[in-house]
Structure 1
Amino acid sequence: MAQGNVFGTAIDQAFVMRIPEYVNRARLDRSVVAMQRKDQDGNYNAAVAHVREVKRQWGDGVSTLCVLYNGTGEPAASGSMGAVVYRGKNKEGEDTDWLVAWDTPWDRLRFANQAYAEINKAGHYDTIDWEALERKISEEAGSQNRVAWSGCVAQVQTGTETSPLWEGVLSLE
Protein backbone atom coordinates (compact mmCIF):
# COMPACT_ATOMS: atom_id res chain seq x y z
CA MET A 1 0.00 0.00 0.00
CA ALA A 2 1.39 3.38 -0.97
CA GLN A 3 -0.71 5.51 1.37
CA GLY A 4 -2.14 4.97 4.83
CA ASN A 5 -5.66 5.73 3.63
CA VAL A 6 -5.76 3.43 0.58
CA PHE A 7 -6.85 -0.09 1.42
CA GLY A 8 -6.49 -3.30 -0.55
CA THR A 9 -5.12 -4.26 -3.93
CA ALA A 10 -5.84 -2.25 -7.07
CA ILE A 11 -7.99 -4.38 -9.36
CA ASP A 12 -6.38 -3.42 -12.65
CA GLN A 13 -5.98 -5.21 -15.98
CA ALA A 14 -2.78 -6.95 -14.88
CA PHE A 15 -4.42 -8.28 -11.69
CA VAL A 16 -7.47 -9.64 -13.53
CA MET A 17 -5.37 -11.22 -16.29
CA ARG A 18 -3.62 -13.36 -13.64
CA ILE A 19 -6.95 -15.05 -12.81
CA PRO A 20 -7.25 -17.95 -15.29
CA GLU A 21 -10.95 -17.56 -16.09
CA TYR A 22 -10.49 -13.85 -16.86
CA VAL A 23 -7.49 -13.97 -19.20
CA ASN A 24 -8.14 -11.66 -22.18
CA ARG A 25 -11.37 -10.24 -20.75
CA ALA A 26 -12.25 -6.56 -20.45
CA ARG A 27 -13.64 -3.75 -18.30
CA LEU A 28 -16.86 -5.46 -17.17
CA ASP A 29 -14.83 -8.42 -15.96
CA ARG A 30 -12.52 -6.09 -14.01
CA SER A 31 -15.62 -4.59 -12.43
CA VAL A 32 -16.97 -8.03 -11.51
CA VAL A 33 -13.65 -9.00 -9.91
CA ALA A 34 -13.40 -5.66 -8.09
CA MET A 35 -16.88 -6.12 -6.61
CA GLN A 36 -16.10 -9.71 -5.60
CA ARG A 37 -12.98 -8.53 -3.77
CA LYS A 38 -14.47 -5.42 -2.13
CA ASP A 39 -14.73 -6.99 1.31
CA GLN A 40 -11.79 -9.41 1.09
CA ASP A 41 -8.77 -9.19 3.38
CA GLY A 42 -10.58 -6.78 5.73
CA ASN A 43 -10.21 -3.88 3.30
CA TYR A 44 -13.68 -2.45 3.93
CA ASN A 45 -13.36 -2.67 7.71
CA ALA A 46 -9.89 -1.09 7.56
CA ALA A 47 -11.23 1.81 5.47
CA VAL A 48 -14.16 2.39 7.84
CA ALA A 49 -11.85 2.18 10.88
CA HIS A 50 -9.54 4.77 9.30
CA VAL A 51 -12.43 7.18 8.66
CA ARG A 52 -13.74 6.70 12.19
CA GLU A 53 -10.27 7.36 13.63
CA VAL A 54 -9.98 10.60 11.65
CA LYS A 55 -13.39 11.62 13.03
CA ARG A 56 -12.30 10.73 16.58
CA GLN A 57 -9.23 12.94 16.18
CA TRP A 58 -11.37 15.88 15.01
CA GLY A 59 -13.84 15.58 17.89
CA ASP A 60 -17.57 15.91 18.41
CA GLY A 61 -20.04 17.48 16.03
CA VAL A 62 -22.25 16.47 13.16
CA SER A 63 -20.37 15.08 10.18
CA THR A 64 -20.72 12.54 7.41
CA LEU A 65 -18.10 9.82 7.29
CA CYS A 66 -17.57 8.72 3.70
CA VAL A 67 -16.06 5.60 2.19
CA LEU A 68 -16.16 5.38 -1.61
CA TYR A 69 -15.28 2.14 -3.39
CA ASN A 70 -14.51 2.27 -7.11
CA GLY A 71 -15.81 -1.01 -8.50
CA THR A 72 -16.11 0.17 -12.11
CA GLY A 73 -13.12 -1.69 -13.48
CA GLU A 74 -11.39 1.56 -14.41
CA PRO A 75 -9.31 4.02 -12.42
CA ALA A 76 -11.09 7.21 -11.37
CA ALA A 77 -9.09 9.39 -13.72
CA SER A 78 -11.25 12.40 -14.48
CA GLY A 79 -10.79 14.53 -11.38
CA SER A 80 -13.67 15.41 -9.10
CA MET A 81 -16.41 17.98 -8.77
CA GLY A 82 -18.72 18.19 -5.82
CA ALA A 83 -21.03 20.39 -3.82
CA VAL A 84 -22.41 20.22 -0.29
CA VAL A 85 -25.29 22.18 1.23
CA TYR A 86 -25.26 23.07 4.92
CA ARG A 87 -28.22 24.52 6.77
CA GLY A 88 -27.40 27.12 9.38
CA LYS A 89 -28.84 30.32 10.79
CA ASN A 90 -28.16 33.90 9.79
CA LYS A 91 -27.56 36.58 12.43
CA GLU A 92 -31.34 37.06 12.84
CA GLY A 93 -31.70 33.36 13.63
CA GLU A 94 -33.42 32.49 10.33
CA ASP A 95 -32.60 29.21 8.60
CA THR A 96 -30.19 29.70 5.71
CA ASP A 97 -28.67 27.30 3.15
CA TRP A 98 -24.95 27.53 2.37
CA LEU A 99 -23.67 25.75 -0.75
CA VAL A 100 -19.95 25.14 -1.07
CA ALA A 101 -18.39 23.44 -4.08
CA TRP A 102 -15.14 22.45 -5.74
CA ASP A 103 -13.84 21.32 -9.10
CA THR A 104 -10.51 19.52 -9.27
CA PRO A 105 -10.06 18.60 -12.95
CA TRP A 106 -7.81 15.81 -14.16
CA ASP A 107 -6.27 17.90 -16.96
CA ARG A 108 -4.37 20.46 -14.89
CA LEU A 109 -2.59 21.83 -17.97
CA ARG A 110 -5.88 23.07 -19.47
CA PHE A 111 -8.09 23.62 -16.41
CA ALA A 112 -7.54 25.13 -12.96
CA ASN A 113 -8.93 23.98 -9.62
CA GLN A 114 -12.02 25.94 -8.59
CA ALA A 115 -13.68 26.83 -5.28
CA TYR A 116 -17.24 28.19 -5.21
CA ALA A 117 -19.90 29.22 -2.67
CA GLU A 118 -23.48 30.49 -2.58
CA ILE A 119 -25.85 31.40 0.25
CA ASN A 120 -29.65 31.39 -0.06
CA LYS A 121 -32.83 31.04 1.93
CA ALA A 122 -33.53 27.68 3.53
CA GLY A 123 -34.91 25.17 1.04
CA HIS A 124 -33.42 26.91 -2.01
CA TYR A 125 -31.40 23.81 -2.90
CA ASP A 126 -34.18 21.28 -2.32
CA THR A 127 -34.45 21.15 -6.10
CA ILE A 128 -31.25 22.08 -7.87
CA ASP A 129 -30.24 22.29 -11.51
CA TRP A 130 -26.87 20.53 -11.37
CA GLU A 131 -25.95 21.52 -14.93
CA ALA A 132 -26.53 25.20 -14.11
CA LEU A 133 -24.41 24.83 -10.97
CA GLU A 134 -21.64 23.20 -12.99
CA ARG A 135 -21.70 26.17 -15.41
CA LYS A 136 -21.51 28.63 -12.49
CA ILE A 137 -18.52 26.81 -11.04
CA SER A 138 -16.80 26.80 -14.43
CA GLU A 139 -17.56 30.45 -15.22
CA GLU A 140 -17.65 32.26 -11.85
CA ALA A 141 -15.35 30.35 -9.52
CA GLY A 142 -11.64 30.74 -8.99
CA SER A 143 -9.05 29.48 -6.57
CA GLN A 144 -10.78 31.66 -3.95
CA ASN A 145 -14.39 32.75 -3.61
CA ARG A 146 -16.18 34.90 -1.03
CA VAL A 147 -19.91 35.50 -0.94
CA ALA A 148 -22.13 37.36 1.53
CA TRP A 149 -25.92 37.22 1.78
CA SER A 150 -28.41 38.16 4.48
CA GLY A 151 -25.70 38.62 7.10
CA CYS A 152 -23.94 35.36 6.23
CA VAL A 153 -20.49 34.92 4.72
CA ALA A 154 -18.92 31.93 2.98
CA GLN A 155 -15.24 31.93 2.06
CA VAL A 156 -13.74 29.01 0.14
CA GLN A 157 -10.37 28.35 -1.40
CA THR A 158 -8.48 25.54 -3.07
CA GLY A 159 -4.85 24.79 -3.76
CA THR A 160 -3.29 24.36 -7.17
CA GLU A 161 -2.00 20.81 -6.70
CA THR A 162 -3.50 17.67 -8.24
CA SER A 163 -4.73 16.75 -4.74
CA PRO A 164 -5.36 20.19 -3.29
CA LEU A 165 -6.49 21.15 0.18
CA TRP A 166 -9.94 22.72 -0.22
CA GLU A 167 -10.98 24.90 2.71
CA GLY A 168 -14.24 26.60 3.54
CA VAL A 169 -15.30 28.93 6.34
CA LEU A 170 -18.93 29.80 7.10
CA SER A 171 -19.46 32.86 9.32
CA LEU A 172 -21.70 35.83 10.05
CA GLU A 173 -21.09 39.46 9.07
Structure 2
Amino acid sequence: MASNVFGNPVTNDTVRLVFPNMTQITARDRARVALQFMNADDKARNVSRFVHNLKAAYGTGTSTLGMIYNATGGNLTFVLNHTWEGAVWRSPYAQVIQNGQWAGFLHVRGRLMGPSKEAIVYRGVNNDGAGRDWMLAWNTSRMNYQNRVLAEIRTAGGFLSANWNAIDGKMDNQANNHSTTALGGFASVSIGAGSSPEFVAIMSLDDLGSNFMAMASDVSVVSESLDSKYVDDVDEADEEAPAE
Protein backbone atom coordinates (compact mmCIF):
# COMPACT_ATOMS: atom_id res chain seq x y z
CA MET A 1 0.00 0.00 0.00
CA ALA A 2 1.29 3.46 -0.87
CA SER A 3 2.25 5.66 2.08
CA ASN A 4 -0.50 8.17 1.27
CA VAL A 5 -3.31 5.56 1.07
CA PHE A 6 -5.13 4.52 4.24
CA GLY A 7 -7.43 1.67 5.23
CA ASN A 8 -8.12 -1.92 4.28
CA PRO A 9 -10.12 -2.29 1.07
CA VAL A 10 -13.81 -3.13 1.30
CA THR A 11 -14.31 -6.34 -0.70
CA ASN A 12 -17.01 -8.98 -1.15
CA ASP A 13 -15.71 -10.65 2.00
CA THR A 14 -16.24 -7.40 3.92
CA VAL A 15 -19.78 -7.17 2.61
CA ARG A 16 -20.49 -10.72 3.79
CA LEU A 17 -19.39 -9.77 7.29
CA VAL A 18 -22.06 -7.05 7.34
CA PHE A 19 -24.70 -8.94 5.33
CA PRO A 20 -23.99 -12.67 5.88
CA ASN A 21 -27.08 -13.80 3.98
CA MET A 22 -26.34 -11.84 0.83
CA THR A 23 -25.70 -14.15 -2.12
CA GLN A 24 -25.25 -11.80 -5.07
CA ILE A 25 -22.98 -8.86 -4.29
CA THR A 26 -22.85 -5.86 -6.60
CA ALA A 27 -20.67 -2.75 -6.78
CA ARG A 28 -23.46 -0.83 -5.05
CA ASP A 29 -23.31 -3.26 -2.13
CA ARG A 30 -19.55 -2.75 -1.82
CA ALA A 31 -20.08 1.02 -2.11
CA ARG A 32 -22.66 1.03 0.70
CA VAL A 33 -20.37 -0.88 3.03
CA ALA A 34 -17.45 1.38 2.12
CA LEU A 35 -19.55 4.36 3.22
CA GLN A 36 -20.39 2.61 6.49
CA PHE A 37 -16.67 1.93 7.03
CA MET A 38 -15.38 5.45 6.31
CA ASN A 39 -13.47 5.58 9.60
CA ALA A 40 -12.89 1.87 10.22
CA ASP A 41 -9.60 1.38 12.09
CA ASP A 42 -9.23 5.18 12.28
CA LYS A 43 -8.39 5.45 8.58
CA ALA A 44 -10.11 8.84 8.23
CA ARG A 45 -8.17 10.21 11.19
CA ASN A 46 -4.98 8.72 9.76
CA VAL A 47 -5.35 10.45 6.39
CA SER A 48 -6.09 13.71 8.20
CA ARG A 49 -2.99 13.31 10.33
CA PHE A 50 -0.96 12.58 7.19
CA VAL A 51 -1.97 15.74 5.32
CA HIS A 52 -1.51 17.93 8.40
CA ASN A 53 1.99 16.48 8.86
CA LEU A 54 2.74 17.37 5.24
CA LYS A 55 1.53 20.91 5.88
CA ALA A 56 3.70 21.20 8.97
CA ALA A 57 6.72 20.11 6.94
CA TYR A 58 5.88 22.52 4.11
CA GLY A 59 5.41 25.56 6.32
CA THR A 60 3.55 28.80 5.61
CA GLY A 61 1.91 29.59 2.28
CA THR A 62 -1.35 28.95 0.48
CA SER A 63 -2.06 25.22 0.21
CA THR A 64 -4.83 22.63 -0.03
CA LEU A 65 -4.89 19.67 2.37
CA GLY A 66 -6.57 17.05 0.19
CA MET A 67 -8.35 13.90 1.37
CA ILE A 68 -10.28 11.76 -1.12
CA TYR A 69 -12.32 8.62 -0.46
CA ASN A 70 -13.27 5.77 -2.78
CA ALA A 71 -16.74 4.35 -2.21
CA THR A 72 -17.40 3.29 -5.80
CA GLY A 73 -17.36 -0.44 -5.12
CA GLY A 74 -14.20 -1.00 -7.16
CA ASN A 75 -10.69 0.35 -7.72
CA LEU A 76 -10.05 3.92 -8.82
CA THR A 77 -6.96 4.59 -10.94
CA PHE A 78 -5.31 7.98 -11.38
CA VAL A 79 -5.72 9.27 -14.94
CA LEU A 80 -4.46 12.86 -15.04
CA ASN A 81 -4.16 16.18 -13.31
CA HIS A 82 -4.72 19.60 -14.81
CA THR A 83 -2.81 22.44 -13.18
CA TRP A 84 -4.01 26.02 -13.25
CA GLU A 85 -1.59 27.11 -10.52
CA GLY A 86 0.62 25.34 -8.00
CA ALA A 87 1.81 21.76 -7.62
CA VAL A 88 1.38 18.70 -5.47
CA TRP A 89 4.10 18.71 -2.81
CA ARG A 90 6.40 15.88 -1.70
CA SER A 91 3.82 13.04 -1.88
CA PRO A 92 2.33 12.43 -5.36
CA TYR A 93 -1.31 11.60 -6.03
CA ALA A 94 -2.12 7.98 -5.23
CA GLN A 95 -2.05 5.90 -8.40
CA VAL A 96 -4.62 3.36 -7.17
CA ILE A 97 -7.24 3.80 -4.45
CA GLN A 98 -9.15 0.63 -3.61
CA ASN A 99 -12.78 0.65 -2.54
CA GLY A 100 -12.97 1.76 1.09
CA GLN A 101 -9.63 3.57 1.11
CA TRP A 102 -8.64 7.19 1.70
CA ALA A 103 -5.80 8.95 -0.11
CA GLY A 104 -4.13 12.19 0.96
CA PHE A 105 -2.05 14.91 -0.67
CA LEU A 106 -0.86 18.50 -0.17
CA HIS A 107 -1.20 20.88 -3.11
CA VAL A 108 0.67 24.18 -2.72
CA ARG A 109 0.86 27.54 -4.46
CA GLY A 110 3.47 28.17 -7.13
CA ARG A 111 4.06 31.88 -6.45
CA LEU A 112 3.85 34.22 -3.48
CA MET A 113 0.41 35.68 -4.16
CA GLY A 114 -0.95 32.74 -6.14
CA PRO A 115 -3.67 30.20 -5.39
CA SER A 116 -3.56 26.44 -5.07
CA LYS A 117 -5.71 25.47 -8.04
CA GLU A 118 -5.88 22.07 -9.73
CA ALA A 119 -8.11 19.26 -11.01
CA ILE A 120 -7.50 15.52 -10.71
CA VAL A 121 -9.23 12.66 -12.52
CA TYR A 122 -9.69 9.06 -11.35
CA ARG A 123 -11.15 6.20 -13.38
CA GLY A 124 -13.39 3.40 -12.20
CA VAL A 125 -16.65 1.73 -13.20
CA ASN A 126 -20.29 2.17 -12.28
CA ASN A 127 -22.63 -0.56 -11.03
CA ASP A 128 -23.12 -1.80 -14.60
CA GLY A 129 -19.39 -2.13 -15.19
CA ALA A 130 -19.15 0.85 -17.55
CA GLY A 131 -15.98 2.94 -17.35
CA ARG A 132 -16.37 6.32 -15.69
CA ASP A 133 -14.01 9.19 -14.86
CA TRP A 134 -14.47 11.23 -11.67
CA MET A 135 -13.02 14.77 -11.84
CA LEU A 136 -12.36 16.74 -8.63
CA ALA A 137 -11.24 20.37 -8.76
CA TRP A 138 -10.41 23.05 -6.19
CA ASN A 139 -9.35 26.68 -6.07
CA THR A 140 -7.82 27.75 -2.76
CA SER A 141 -7.15 31.49 -2.63
CA ARG A 142 -5.05 33.35 -0.11
CA MET A 143 -6.56 35.23 2.79
CA ASN A 144 -10.28 35.96 2.79
CA TYR A 145 -11.34 35.16 -0.77
CA GLN A 146 -13.96 32.46 -1.45
CA ASN A 147 -12.49 29.00 -1.96
CA ARG A 148 -14.31 26.98 -4.62
CA VAL A 149 -14.71 23.37 -5.72
CA LEU A 150 -16.24 21.41 -8.58
CA ALA A 151 -16.91 17.75 -9.40
CA GLU A 152 -17.89 16.16 -12.71
CA ILE A 153 -18.36 12.60 -13.95
CA ARG A 154 -17.86 11.60 -17.58
CA THR A 155 -17.42 8.42 -19.58
CA ALA A 156 -13.92 6.93 -19.45
CA GLY A 157 -11.53 9.20 -21.36
CA GLY A 158 -13.95 12.12 -21.29
CA PHE A 159 -11.45 14.47 -19.66
CA LEU A 160 -8.52 13.70 -21.96
CA SER A 161 -9.62 16.48 -24.31
CA ALA A 162 -11.56 18.56 -21.79
CA ASN A 163 -12.03 22.29 -22.19
CA TRP A 164 -10.33 23.29 -18.95
CA ASN A 165 -11.19 26.96 -19.44
CA ALA A 166 -14.87 26.00 -19.44
CA ILE A 167 -14.38 23.84 -16.35
CA ASP A 168 -12.63 26.75 -14.64
CA GLY A 169 -15.61 28.94 -15.50
CA LYS A 170 -18.00 26.42 -13.95
CA MET A 171 -15.91 26.32 -10.78
CA ASP A 172 -16.06 30.12 -10.58
CA ASN A 173 -19.84 29.77 -10.25
CA GLN A 174 -19.58 27.27 -7.37
CA ALA A 175 -18.91 27.82 -3.69
CA ASN A 176 -17.25 25.70 -1.00
CA ASN A 177 -19.22 22.50 -1.67
CA HIS A 178 -20.64 20.76 -4.70
CA SER A 179 -22.10 17.36 -5.51
CA THR A 180 -23.09 15.71 -8.76
CA THR A 181 -24.80 12.54 -9.96
CA ALA A 182 -24.21 11.40 -13.52
CA LEU A 183 -23.77 8.24 -15.59
CA GLY A 184 -24.26 5.97 -12.59
CA GLY A 185 -21.70 7.80 -10.47
CA PHE A 186 -21.78 10.27 -7.61
CA ALA A 187 -19.20 12.74 -6.30
CA SER A 188 -19.20 15.21 -3.44
CA VAL A 189 -16.49 17.84 -2.87
CA SER A 190 -16.10 20.29 0.02
CA ILE A 191 -13.46 22.82 1.05
CA GLY A 192 -12.98 25.04 4.06
CA ALA A 193 -12.26 28.74 4.34
CA GLY A 194 -8.84 30.37 4.62
CA SER A 195 -5.56 29.96 2.79
CA SER A 196 -4.77 26.36 3.85
CA PRO A 197 -8.12 24.58 4.18
CA GLU A 198 -8.96 20.91 4.10
CA PHE A 199 -10.46 19.61 0.86
CA VAL A 200 -12.56 16.44 1.11
CA ALA A 201 -13.93 14.49 -1.86
CA ILE A 202 -16.01 11.33 -1.79
CA MET A 203 -16.45 9.33 -4.99
CA SER A 204 -19.30 6.84 -5.09
CA LEU A 205 -22.24 5.51 -7.12
CA ASP A 206 -25.81 6.69 -7.63
CA ASP A 207 -29.00 5.13 -6.29
CA LEU A 208 -27.58 3.81 -3.03
CA GLY A 209 -30.55 4.90 -0.94
CA SER A 210 -31.09 8.17 0.90
CA ASN A 211 -29.18 7.20 4.05
CA PHE A 212 -26.09 6.15 2.11
CA MET A 213 -26.21 9.16 -0.20
CA ALA A 214 -26.23 11.35 2.91
CA MET A 215 -23.10 9.53 4.13
CA ALA A 216 -21.45 10.24 0.77
CA SER A 217 -21.75 13.97 1.44
CA ASP A 218 -20.80 13.93 5.12
CA VAL A 219 -17.28 15.22 5.77
CA SER A 220 -17.61 15.20 9.57
CA VAL A 221 -16.00 11.76 9.69
CA VAL A 222 -12.76 13.51 8.72
CA SER A 223 -13.04 16.89 10.43
CA GLU A 224 -15.48 18.99 12.42
CA SER A 225 -14.34 22.01 10.39
CA LEU A 226 -12.49 22.13 7.07
CA ASP A 227 -11.40 25.73 7.67
CA SER A 228 -7.70 26.56 7.68
CA LYS A 229 -5.94 26.17 11.02
CA TYR A 230 -2.65 27.83 10.00
CA VAL A 231 -0.98 31.19 10.48
CA ASP A 232 -0.51 31.70 6.74
CA ASP A 233 -3.99 33.24 6.90
CA VAL A 234 -2.13 36.32 8.16
CA ASP A 235 -0.34 38.62 5.70
CA GLU A 236 2.79 38.90 7.79
CA ALA A 237 3.23 35.10 7.78
CA ASP A 238 2.80 34.78 4.00
CA GLU A 239 6.44 34.34 3.07
CA GLU A 240 8.03 32.64 0.09
CA ALA A 241 7.23 28.94 -0.22
CA PRO A 242 10.06 26.64 0.87
CA ALA A 243 12.11 24.87 -1.77
CA GLU A 244 11.71 21.12 -2.05
Task: Classify the TM-score, shorter chain.
Answer: 0.5 to 0.7
User: Which residue number in structure 2 is paired with residue 34 of structure 1?
Assistant: none
Secondary structure at 2:169 match in 1: helix
Give the C-alpha shift of residue 62 in structure 1. Answer: 10
Larger Rg: 1
Q: Alpha-carbon deviations, 1:108-148, whole Å to 9, x = none?
A: 2xx30011100011111111222111111102x21110100
Give the C-alpha shift of residue 66 in structure 1. Answer: 7.7
* Partner AA of 2:127 in structure 1: K
Specify which structure has the higher proportion of helix: 1
TM-score normalised according to structure 2 size: 0.42
User: Which residue number in structure 1 is paired with residue 57 of structure 2?
Assistant: 5
Task: Give the alignment partner of residue 185 of structure 2, picking from 128, 146, 152.
Answer: 152
Secondary structure at 1:106 match in 2: coil
Task: Give the alignment partner of residue 164 of structure 1, picking from 194, 197, 201.
Answer: 197
1:4–1:66 Cα change, 3 Å: closer
Q: Please, which runs of 5 or more residues in structure 2 have no aligned partner?
A: 1-54, 60-88, 95-100, 207-244
TM-score normalised according to structure 1 size: 0.57
Give the C-alpha shift of residue 156 in structure 1. Answer: 0.5
Task: Give the alignment partner of residue 123 of structure 1, picking from 135, 144, 157.
Answer: 157
Greater relative contact order, per chain length (Cα 8 Å cut-off, separation 6+): 2
Distance 2:109 2:139 in 1: 20
Distance 1:115 1:152 in 2: 18
| 1:15-164 to 2 correspondences below 5 Å | 51=91, 75-106=111-142, 108=144, 111-139=145-173, 141-164=174-197
User: Which residue number in structure 2 is paired with residue 26 of structure 1?
Assistant: none
* Partner AA of 1:130 in structure 2: W
The answer to whether the 8 Å contact 2:192/2:198 transfers is: yes
Distance 1:160 1:66 in 2: 16
Provide runs of 4+ in structure 1 moved above 4 Å: 61-70
Instruction: Give percent identity, aligned residues only.
Output: 26
Distance 1:169 1:89 in 2: 15
1:171–1:135 Cα change, 3 Å: same
1:103–1:171 Cα change, 3 Å: same
Distance 2:203 2:56 in 1: 30
* Partner AA of 1:76 in structure 2: L
Distance 1:64 1:159 in 2: 16
The answer to whether the 8 Å contact 2:120/2:137 transfers is: yes
Give the C-alpha shift of residue 151 in structure 1. Answer: 1.7
Give the C-alpha shift of residue 163 in structure 1. Answer: 0.6
Distance 1:68 1:79 in 2: 8
Distance 2:56 2:187 in 1: 32
Cα RMSD (Å): 3.2
